[in-house]
Amino acid sequence: MEVLNEIFGVHEKAMVLRQRRLALLGQNIANADTPHYQAKDLDFQKVMKQTSDQLNVNLSKTQSSHLDSGHIRGGDLIYRTPLNPAADGNTVEVHYEQQEFGKESSRYMATLQFIEGRIGSIRRALRGE
């Protein structure tokens, strides 16, 4: 069973983080006209480094109040400083958010294709091809 947990390696965690980042970018775009809304993002490289470091350590919860190792803490969020601040205090710059959303969507699809490739390899191996 241990081998099955390592098939996707860091890509499984990357997929979850990419989903979280896409959700944050989508929230930013949706709240572009909300007064005092602060645009948020995820420091993907920082969180992935922490995650990959944790993959080398066997972590287990000893109490129900402990956070899961995959939990994204509030300290991992970045609040953007806009180049052109809005008069109402909103920090969302729609063009930038849309650009980042497009880039992250491409990265998400690449990660998904890699995982699908791994699954295809497993299927072929199970069929004896």
Enter the pTM of the model. 0.73
Rounded mean pLDDT of 74-88?
Answer: 83
46-64 per-position pLDDT tens digit: 888 876 665 554 445 565 6
Supply the pLDDT for residue 5. Answer: 56
The predicted-structure confidence for 25-34, as pLDDT tens digits, reads as follows 999 999 999 9
In the structure encoding, which two tokens stand for residue 21, read together?
């980042």
10 touches 55 (CB < 8 A): yes
